[in-house]
Amino acid sequence: MKKEAKFWKVLPDNKVQCNLCSHKCIISAGRTGICGVRKNEGGKLYTLIYGSCSSMAADPIEKKPLYHFHPATNVFSLGTIGCNFKCLHCQNYSISTADPDFSYMREITPEDSIKLAKEYSCQGISYTYNEPTIWYEFTYDSVKLAKKAGLYTCYVTNGYILEEPLKEISPFLDAMNIDVKAFTDNFYKEVCKAKLEPVLKTCKLAKKLGIHVELTYLVIPDHNDSLDEVKSFLSWVIEKLGNDTPIHFSRFHPDHKMMDIPRTPMEKMLKIYDVAKKSGILYPYLGNVIHDNYENTYCPKCGNKCVSRSGFSVDLKQCDEGKCAKCGKKIPIVTK
Ligand code: SF4
């Protein structure tokens, strides 16, 4: 559904500049920006996908992944089409590369999104599957209603949103899982057609704005898996975000235009987990691995298994009101 966009300015010659994400596209009349869903029509910028849903489901919040945020609840998850990144390994390319004429779209209102979340017995709402930033206008209207309705809200994002839109939505946005896809600009340029620095800036700003932040780092063989690169990333997290920031190291499987890259060896995943622990990260996790031990939350003080996770089943019995049941240490888990 077409609607006038937020965050843009008029330029000479009927051009506009979109100021929603760090690409800051300059768009000629009749053209769309890099994301393919924001169009200059007659010198005005429009979103073409307001309320246009490609996917919706009730998911466990752990699937986002968010482990320290309303554990063991269900979140109503919505996605649209398009993306401002061009990741060669995209796992949702059927929607991220679709154009606005995509035939499997369902048009909904922000009110519908809340109604559906309640109907699906969800405690929160999440904008996910493709990049939510490029769906800003709809998600903004939806999160405002969600907060009024007592639902929590989250973005699962590549972190390319600019400062002004993030600040504007932040009073209504409770959590973000931000992908840090690698820790080199070269990877971002070659694999995602983007830059690293704006993503790091968003992580810091989100934290400063009081949004709950968890990070995901997808480990791709020979692309971003060198221990030096991972260590640089970990040092940055500890210095800028804090060692209590949950980090999900996820195992790569071949997809989209990276079918020739093998799955990440399990030994590498375990090594990275070990490096993260030794570097002082308190809550590292491994994703896409069949091994229960690496999804649990351990007390940093006494080692007690405070939260057990297996698949999407969660046992919180050892985390009594946000504290380790054995030694009483506070475990940072948002529940309200
Ligand atoms: S949201 Fe889309 S149009 Fe706007 S700057 Fe980003 S990629 Fe370009």
What are the tens digits of pLDDT across the range 241-284? 999 999 999 999 999 999 999 999 999 999 999 999 999 999 99
The neighbouring-strand residues paired with 41 are 44
Phi, psi of 58 (to 5 degrees): -90, 115
User: Among the atoms of ligand 1, which is closest to the Cα of residue 133?
Assistant: 1
| pLDDT band at residue 336 under the 50/70/90 scheme | confident
Q: What is the pLDDT of residue 103?
A: 75
User: For residues 215, 218, 219 and 220, what is the CA-based torsion angle, rounded to 10 degrees?
Assistant: -150
Distance CA 214, CA 77 (A): 17
**pLDDT of 3 strictly over 90:** yes
Mean pLDDT of the chain: 96
User: Among the atoms of ligand 1, which is closest to the Cα of residue 32?
Assistant: 3
**Nearest CA residue ID for atom 5, ligand 1:** 24
User: Among the atoms of ligand 1, which is closest to the Cα of residue 33?
Assistant: 3
CA of 38 to the centre of ligand 1 (A): 7
User: Among the atoms of ligand 1, which is closest to the Cα of residue 45?
Assistant: 3
* Mutational test site, ligand 1, from 7, 23, 32, max ligand atoms within 8 Å of CB: 23
R_g over Cα of the chain: 20
Q: What is the pLDDT of residue 100?
A: 84
Q: What is the pLDDT of residue 102?
A: 76
Tokens, residue 318: 């050892």
Phi, psi of 201 (to 5 degrees): -60, -40
Burial status of residue 292 (CB atoms within 10 A of its CB: 0-12, 13-18, 19 or more): exposed
| Span 89-112, average pLDDT | 91
Distance CA 265, CA 221 (A): 8
* Mutational test site, ligand 1, from 18, 45, 137, max ligand atoms within 8 Å of CB: 18
Distance CA 238, CA 242 (A): 4
Distance CA 214, CA 62 (A): 11
User: Among the atoms of ligand 1, which is closest to the Cα of residue 21?
Assistant: 6
Q: What is the pLDDT of residue 59?
A: 96
SS3 292: helix
Peptide bond into 198 cis (omega under 30): no
Question: Is the CB of 169 within 6 Å of ligand 1?
Answer: no
- Residue with the two structure tokens 């919505």: 78
Question: Is the CB of 20 within 6 Å of ligand 1?
Answer: yes
Tokens, residue 241: 């975000």
Distance CA 296, CA 318 (A): 11
| pLDDT band at residue 115 under the 50/70/90 scheme | very high
**pLDDT of 213 strictly over 80:** yes
Helix or strand (DSSP H, E) at 249: strand 247-251
Phi, psi of 287 (to 5 degrees): -115, 155
Question: Is the CB of 83 within 6 Å of ligand 1?
Answer: no
User: Among the atoms of ligand 1, which is closest to the Cα of residue 7?
Assistant: 4
**pLDDT of 291 strictly over 80:** no
What are the tens digits of pLDDT across the range 52-93? 999 999 999 999 999 999 999 999 999 999 999 999 999 999
Question: Is the CB of 22 within 6 Å of ligand 1?
Answer: no
Question: Is the CB of 134 within 6 Å of ligand 1?
Answer: yes
Question: Is the CB of 84 within 6 Å of ligand 1?
Answer: yes
User: Among the atoms of ligand 1, which is closest to the Cα of residue 36?
Assistant: 2
* Mutational test site, ligand 1, from 21, 32, 169, max ligand atoms within 8 Å of CB: 21
**Percent of the chain at pLDDT exceeding 70:** 100
- Residue with the two structure tokens 């992944």: 65
| Span 26-39, average pLDDT | 97
**Percent of the chain at pLDDT exceeding 90:** 93
| pLDDT band at residue 138 under the 50/70/90 scheme | very high
Closest CA relative to residue 39, chosen from 93, 2, 86, 84: 2
Read off the DSSP letter of residue 159. Answer: S
Count the neighbouring beta carbons within 10 Å of the beta carbon of residue 31: 14
| pLDDT band at residue 321 under the 50/70/90 scheme | confident
Q: What is the pLDDT of residue 99?
A: 87
| pLDDT band at residue 104 under the 50/70/90 scheme | confident
| pLDDT band at residue 320 under the 50/70/90 scheme | confident
Task: Write b or e for each residue in 86-121: b if 16 or more Cβ atoms lie within 10 A of its Cβ, otherwise e.
Answer: ebbbbebbebbbbebebeebeebebebbbebbeebe
Question: Is the CB of 162 within 6 Å of ligand 1?
Answer: no
Helix or strand (DSSP H, E) at 218: strand 212-219
Distance CA 218, CA 215 (A): 10
Burial status of residue 49 (CB atoms within 10 A of its CB: 0-12, 13-18, 19 or more): buried
- Residue with the two structure tokens 């989250």: 154
**Nearest CA residue ID for atom 6, ligand 1:** 21
Cβ–Cβ < 8 Å for 51, 109: yes
**pLDDT of 195 strictly over 90:** yes
| pLDDT band at residue 172 under the 50/70/90 scheme | very high
What are the tens digits of pLDDT across the range 293-309? 899 999 999 999 999 99
